[in-house]
Structure 1
Amino acid sequence: MSNLSPIPAYIFGGAFTGLGLLSFVAPKADYEIFGLPLESSPPGSSSADKKTTAVPADGIVSPMVYAKGLRNLCFGLTYFALQYKGLDEAVTIFSEVLCVAALGDGLIVWLCAGEKLKSKAFSHWGGMVPFVSWLGWRLYGN
């Protein structure tokens, strides 16, 4: 029987699941939270013939946001499944791997979002603080 509390894993699972669902129900808001600008409209196209989800004149939502949403949804469901099965070591390893995703997401925002949104990278990196603290506790606090 493990002495690790399952509650943080379920909280992180819920957070990732929620972020994943947000991509589907409010993709424009997901862009803002992630820190990337909306996509530019293709030259010569009107909102009537767009294959992507239309939003106001400041840009369109790329279908890629749905891929990101599915990724986050899978991350959340993985936390739930691993924790439910009591695979504590797998939860820890999975969390370590997700730190790489958070670093990468921040780097993407830093390099691609432009000067106005560049600082949003710190929300990805800053969000790692409780995550890494929890990992430290899991690895060295027991």
Structure 2
Amino acid sequence: MKMQRPRRPSRFHLADTAQQIVGGFLLAGPFVVTEEVWMLAVDLTALQALATIAVVFAIGYATLYKADPTRDQSEETTIAGIPIRFISLMGVSFGSVAILAILFGAPDTFIAESESNLSTVLITFRAVTLGSVFSVVGAATADTLFSK
């Protein structure tokens, strides 16, 4: 009878984050520069923004751990019980949209000059949450397709 070794937690590598970044930026770009996203962000309520963030988390989790039958979250290295891969995915999903918005000057282009600084920050935050819905799809898909 052959004994099986206990499985060690999966290692998360820099290459995994790089794959997420490629996918996240690929799908974030078009939504950062779309006027409709910024128009939606102006009228998005706090509850809608929070619900959108929950959708991003759900899409990311489902893509990483439910759509890929070979990946088991319980076997991954964690920080405070949260898989590092998932933490990285959320950072990339929201971060890629935020970075592109700033680099492209989207807030200055799409938000009226009459808005206060606080209002500009809030609108930008809401636009980032909207763009992240698409960025997380690209980031999680790239991570899943190209994982070792």
Q: Of the two structures, which has the highest relative contact order with CA contacts closer than 8 Å and spacing of 6 or more?
A: 2
- Output the TM-score relative to the length of structure 1: 0.31
TM-score (norm. length: structure 2):
0.30
